[in-house]
Chains A and B, each alone.
Chain A
Amino acid sequence: MIRIPCPFCGVRDHSEFSYGGDGSVQYPALEASSQDWHDAVFQRDNICGMQTETWQHVNGCRMWLLVERDTMTHEIRSVRPAQTGLTTALEAIK
């Protein structure tokens, strides 16, 4: 079991979370070329090692998180809210 330290709820089993996918994917502007959209939707680095990915704490706070995780050892390096505004807010109350 991977244990994910949710910034809102504390350390929880990964089975409380739902895996999103590669968190480095940036969707282009709506009017961007179909090649740009193709690359964002279909193409992946598929990193073996540390990658940033999205997880949603569905059975907890329901927040989307950005998790830095090693895809070989499953070690987690960092977890932060996917919304940048929330990271700032969390820091303010620390």
Chain B
Amino acid sequence: MTRFSAWNVFWNGVTGQKGWSRQWRDPEPKSHYDVVLIGGGLHGLATAYYLAKNHNIKNIAVVEKGWIGGGNAGRNTTIVRSNYAQPGNREFYEDSLKLWENLSHELNYNVMFSQRSHISLLHSPGAIDGAARNYNVMRQTGTPDVEIWGLDQLKTAVPHLNYGPNARFPIMGAAVQQRAGTARHDAVVWGYARAADALGVDIIQNCEVTGITRNTNRITAIETSRGTIKTHKVGLAVAGNTSRLWSMAGMGQLPIESHKLQAFVSEPLKPLLDQVVVFGMGGAHFYISQSDKGGMVFGGDLDWYKSYAQKGNLPIVQDVAEAAMAVLPCLGRVRLLRHWSGVVDMSMDGSHFICKTPVDNLYLNAGWNYGGFKATPAAGTYFADLIANDRPHKVIANHDLKRFERGLQIDERGAGADPKLHG
């Protein structure tokens, strides 16, 4: 694999672009691996990379039923932030943000991480107080760049929000994280795949796991559409399909429901919005940023009913359009280019699981709700650490399946045990 560098770009530019090689191999599955990661999304690929890099495990496969990045990895709205308030999540997402800050160098691949700031609009004195409380907690616990903005500061930064006297939701201020932003999701997939492949990881696409063979408390092999693969350890990272694989492994219930979340992109526009703007008020939910190509990338709530279909419904299109008009009326004449949906693994408290399971050599990465893109570097790091050392790192000690039995919920929204409410 040719490294990307200014010199290589220049040299290939003058020699007809002939010096580049394949970004990753397309190997046949071997009959045995030390670790098999099921799911070629961001978390499967990142975990493979960190297993090879940090833990020197080389005989690793990532098996993906379709193509890598064809799941939620390639469907999200690419928001990266670490303004979480609950213990456990705070440290985890801040670690993740620090890894994002160096990710392009780490992977030798431009993931276009753009720290353009994340602005959550506030519409009442109570909302400002609530945000101030949370942001103070974050400032005291290692996330220094979160702050509350008054209206003047907000108007200077984002002049074209709906500040008018007739605004349906008058804006009073904003909660802002400066180091937050967006990244190019496909580039993150390809960057991790390329870097993992360079360390010897086999990335096997078009390889669906159809069965999991267990010998009492151990998995001995997985059955795939490309044959049987024996393995010492299995890491599950299949996002919205977790429950299906869980039952393939012969296990029962999980604190997870699969729901679908839609996203939208408009026709490309000239530079309009230089931040991520979030609007959440009562029943409305809306977040928007502008991609490097100029498309307005935005989304809102889940489709509200459980679903495994990667196909969104129209009432949500209307909800999201109404929210857009409420905060950014200048979008009214903009045409929608595409919209799509992904199946997300909504958990009972809105937080994730990176943990051991009742099966000795099966490890779980799941429950990412709306927010697993930003988690990628930390999820990969800690999941790899868990698989290699067979014990959780202290940062993820409470992100296990048993936390509800202990009476603990890591519930950022305080929404309770109803997966669809954890947006």
A28 CA to B109 CA in the complex, in Å? 54
Residue B257, interface by CB 8 Å:
yes
Alpha-carbon distance between A44 and B256 when the two chains are bound, in angstroms: 7
Give chain B interface residues in 297-328, CB to chain A under 8 Å.
Answer: 304-309, 313-315
Q: Are B244 and A48 in contact (CB under 8 A)?
A: yes
- Do B257 and A44 touch (CB < 8 A)? yes
Q: Are A46 and B307 in contact (CB under 8 A)?
A: no
What separation, in Å, do the CA atoms of A35 and B309 have in the docked complex? 32
Closest A residue by C-beta to B247: A45
Shortest distance between the CB of B218 and any CB in chain A (Å): 24
Give CA–CA (A41, B253) in the complex, Å.
12
A43 to B405, CA, bound (A): 11
Q: Is the interface of A mostly helix, strand, loop or mixed?
A: mixed
- A34's closest neighbor in chain B, by CB? B405
In the complex, what distance in Å separates the CA atom of A45 from the CA atom of B256? 8
Enumerate chain B residues within 8 angstroms of A19, measured Cβ to Cβ.
Answer: 304-306, 420
Complex Cα gap A14–B304 (Å): 10
Q: Is the CB of A48 within 8 A of B243?
A: yes
The verdict on A89 contacting chain B, using a C-beta distance below 8 Å, is: no
Among residues of A, the one whose C-beta sits closest to the C-beta of B319 is A15
Say whether, besides A1-B315, A38-B404, A41-B417, A71 and B308 are in contact (CB < 8 Å): yes
- Chain A contacts for B307, CB-based, 8 A: 71-72, 74
Chain B hits for A45, CB < 8 A = 243, 252-253
**CB contact list, A36-66 vs B, under 8 A:** 38-39, 41-48, 51, 53, 55
Q: Which of B258, B405, B420 contacts A46, CB < 8 Å?
A: B258
Point out the residues of chain A lying under 8 angstroms from B420, CB to CB: 19, 21
A40 to B257, CA, bound (A): 14
Find out whether the CB atom of A21 lies under 8 angstroms from the CB atom of B418. Answer: yes
Q: Does B97 contact A (CB under 8 A)?
A: no
- Interface size, chain B (Cβ < 8 Å): 25
Residue of B nearest to A16 (CB): B315
* A93 sits at the interface (CB 8 A): no
For chains A and B in complex, what number of residue pairs have CB atoms within 8 angstroms? 75
Q: How far is the CB of A10 from chain B (nearest CB, A)?
A: 19
Q: Tell whether A11 is near chain B: CB-to-CB under 8 Å.
A: no
Query: From residue B10, how far is it (CB to closest CB) to chain A in Å?
Result: 51
- Residues of A near B417 (CB, < 8 A) are 41-42
Contacts of B255 on A, CB cut-off 8 Å? 42-44
Q: A13: nearest residue on chain B (CB-CB)?
A: B315
Residue numbers in A under 8 Å from B419 (CB-CB): 44
Least CB distance from B160 to A in Å reads: 31
**Alpha-carbon distance between A1 and B303 when the two chains are bound, in angstroms:** 11
* Residue numbers in B under 8 Å from A15 (CB-CB): 315
Known: A19-B420, A46-B258, A48-B258. A39 touches B253 (CB 8 A): yes
Contacts of A13 in B (CB 8 A): 315
A84 interfacial by beta-carbon distance below 8 Å: no
| A71-B307, A74-B309 known; A35+B256 contact, CB < 8 A | no
A72 to B255 Cα, complex, angstroms: 20
Report Cα–Cα, A67/B78, bound state, in Å. 35
A2 at the interface (CB under 8 A from B): yes
B256 touches A46 (CB 8 A): yes
Whether B253 lies near A1 (C-beta < 8 A) is no
Residues of chain A with a CB closer than 8 A to B258's CB: 46, 48, 71
Q: Which residue of B has the minimal Cβ distance to A18? A: B304
- Whole-angstrom distance between the Cβ of B246 and the nearest chain A Cβ: 8
Cβ-based interface call for B337 (8 A): no
Q: Which residues of A contact B348 (CB under 8 A)?
A: 41-42
Complex contacts, B313 vs chain A, CB 8 Å: 1-2, 14
Whether B309 lies near A46 (C-beta < 8 A) is: no
Is B405 within 8 A of A38, CB to CB?
A: yes
* 28 contacting pairs across A/B (C-beta < 8 A): A1-B313, A1-B315, A2-B305, A2-B313, A14-B313, A18-B304, A21-B306, A22-B257, A34-B405, A38-B405, A41-B348, A41-B417, A42-B348, A43-B252, A43-B253, A43-B254, A44-B256, A46-B243, A48-B308, A51-B306, A55-B305, A69-B305, A71-B258, A71-B306, A72-B307, A72-B309, A74-B307, A74-B309
